[in-house]
Amino acid sequence: MNADGRSRLDQLPEWNALAAHRQELGDAHLRDLFAQDPERAERFTLQVGDLHLDYSKHLVTDETLRLLRELARATKVTELRDAMFRGEKINTTEDRAVLHTALRAPHSAVIRTDGKDVVPEVHAVLTKMGTFVDRVHSGEWTGHTGKRIKNVVNIGIGGSDLGPAMAYEALRAYSHRELRFHFVSNVDGADLHEALRGLDPAETLFIVASKTFTTIETITNATSARRWLLRGLEAGQEAVAKHFVALSTNAEKVAEFGIDTDNMFEFWDWVGGRYSFDSAIGLSLMLAIGQDHFREMLAGFHLVDEHFRCAPPEENAPLLLGLLGIWYGQFFDAQSHAVLPYSHYLSKFPAYLQQLDMESNGKSVDREGRPVSWQTGPVVWGTPGTNGQHAYYQLLHQGTKTIPADLIGFANPVADLPPKLAAHHDLLMANLFAQGQALAFGKTSEEVAAEGVAPELVPHRTFPGNRPTTTILAAELSPSVLGQLIALYEHKVFVQGAIWHIDSFDQWGVELGKVLAKRVEPALTEGAAVPGLDASTAALVATYRSLRGR
């Protein structure tokens, strides 16, 4: 039993019904499912805002979908969803509300947590960000020596890097091209070194993005950046105010670092790191695309929030995508999920989703701390489509693993592409459609043989098909569409965590490594003894020291 008196997932009749249904479905092939139902493509399509979502190439029937929705009902997904939107503390292990949806709620909304309406402060920070962005764009905000800002360096890691870096890339076509953006995350000094190469400190603004403002990678990079700035300007601490701003929940630590808290853009503990880029963490993005486009993006998020909150289960896209993932993970033993954008601008989207999904649902105990006996979050991976086709798609088509994939594409190339380059677009999208087709329907041995292929080569040239994909299309990759797309995945991850009965909003799994790194570092630098260090790590440390000539 769960704390609320419900049976555990694997004891539910709805779970067992799905297992039995999987047996019945056996090797049913998409070729036959389509042949039996001429309406399938049309029926298994949803429109959510600007997103056109085709899920007809999934290994499901109407009965599968009905049983999956029954599972969602039995596991009270909508009840947890409503509790999240109401601001209840559904992140129980950290005793926190989960209110990223409040970051994109309209001014008129009232969303309370701990008795306080959070919407006014969300909008106050957005206004403060907008004012700052306008001042930088107009040249009213200058560096210490009076020079205009030309370079923006975002220093952050995890959710304080991946979101803004991904969205900057995605919306480059909307960006102020006269500003140059750099995203520094890795504690490897090479990252900062390469980002700062050739930059004039007098024209450089650092945005230190850290929810906690204690993350060692970020503080180390920010400290080195400050040293670079002050040396370059031959100035004292007073120069920091014009070149450093902070995005954080922790005013005390920001002040301790030496950044004026007037130059701090706040957010709150009810915003998880991986759900934070539409908070103040999006400042670098807002600097790139301007506040109007940033607000359009927030409106896109909100549109899908409302869809998730209000659409009936049969038409609820995040619910559907979450359920499909559970279907493959549990009943097809799928271990991973590929995200394949047919858009160069979405090249960082899979990496962004890795944190969103894997940090949220990479858990093996349930909300009551008991081990789960079912699959939880998949390994999420991917790269832009056509590049992947010439690398790992071989395995997708003919390997032994079931890997559900999302194919994401846009009808129009971005507006500022020169006509000759925009003309590539049909070829790009033809590849997306061809891959979905090949993965689903394959090529039978009869078809191969009929082409006159030598019999011994027929098995090698046969494509089994039946590889499930979702196709997501939109007219173009606009700020609003990006917001819609991200909210779709955020809520998909939510649905899965709700069904698996895990806490999708904590990340205790990242702690141990941080603690051990702190303990090991003095052994590397000073040769200090680390009590209880295992033999393998001790030998590696000794080898490292000797290779470094220590």
Q: Site residues (CB under 6 A) for ligand F6P?
A: 157-160, 210-212, 215, 218, 273-274, 359, 507, 510
Q: Which tokens hold the place of 458? A: 């027929």
DSSP 149: P
Task: Note whether 8 and 2 are within 8 A (CB).
Answer: yes
Residue among 113 and 215 whose Cβ is closer to ligand F6P: 215
Length of the chain, please?
A: 550
Neighbours of 31 (CB within 10 A): 14
CB of residue 74 vs ligand F6P: minimum separation in angstroms? 31
Residue 115, exposed/middle/buried by CB under 10 A (0-12, 13-18, 19+)?
Answer: exposed
Q: Of these residues, 217, 266, 296, 359, which one is catalytic?
A: 359
Residue among 250 and 435 whose Cβ is closer to ligand F6P: 250
CB of residue 64 vs ligand F6P: minimum separation in angstroms? 34
Cα distance from N-terminal residue to C-terminal residue, the chain: 57
CB of residue 258 vs ligand F6P: minimum separation in angstroms? 17
CB of residue 426 vs ligand F6P: minimum separation in angstroms? 39
Residue among 391 and 512 whose Cβ is closer to ligand F6P: 512
Residue among 169 and 359 whose Cβ is closer to ligand F6P: 359
The owner of tokens 């700052």 is 132
Q: Of these residues, 390, 446, 451, 456, which one is catalytic?
A: 390
**Distance between CA 51 and CA 63 in Å, rounded?**
25
Handedness of CA 381, 217, 210, 368 (dihedral sign): positive
Task: Note whether 440 and 469 are within 8 A (CB).
Answer: yes
| DSSP state string for 248-295 | ES-HHHHHHHT--GGGEEE--TTS-GGG-TTTGGGHHHHHHHHHHHHH
Furthest C-alpha separation in the chain: 78
Give catalytic status of residue 514 as yes or no. yes
Residue among 211 and 293 whose Cβ is closer to ligand F6P: 211
In this structure, what is the dihedral angle of CA atoms 263, 256, 235, 224, given to the nearest 10 degrees? -100
Task: Note whether 88 and 111 are within 8 A (CB).
Answer: no
Residue among 310 and 512 whose Cβ is closer to ligand F6P: 512
Give catalytic status of residue 359 as yes or no. yes
Ranked by CB distance to ligand F6P, the top (closest) residue is 273
Task: Note whether 470 and 321 are within 8 A (CB).
Answer: yes
**Distance between CA 171 and CA 482 in Å, rounded?**
8
CB of residue 272 vs ligand F6P: minimum separation in angstroms? 7
CB of residue 516 vs ligand F6P: minimum separation in angstroms? 14
Q: Of these residues, 116, 424, 460, 514, which one is catalytic?
A: 514
CB of residue 226 vs ligand F6P: minimum separation in angstroms? 17
Query: Angle at which helices 283-310 and 77-86 pack, to 10 degrees?
Result: 130
CB of residue 222 vs ligand F6P: minimum separation in angstroms? 10
CB of residue 175 vs ligand F6P: minimum separation in angstroms? 23
Q: What angle do CA 147, 129, 154 make, to 5 degrees?
A: 65
Residue among 211 and 243 whose Cβ is closer to ligand F6P: 211
DSSP 178: T
Residue among 508 and 544 whose Cβ is closer to ligand F6P: 508
Adjacent-strand bridge partners of 91: 96
Q: Which tokens hold the place of 123? A: 């909008």
Residue among 104 and 211 whose Cβ is closer to ligand F6P: 211
**Distance between CA 281 and CA 294 in Å, rounded?**
12
Residue 5 φ/ψ, nearest 5 degrees: 85, 0
Residue 206 φ/ψ, nearest 5 degrees: -100, 130
Neighbours of 43 (CB within 10 A): 11
Residues annotated as part of the active site: 359, 390, 514
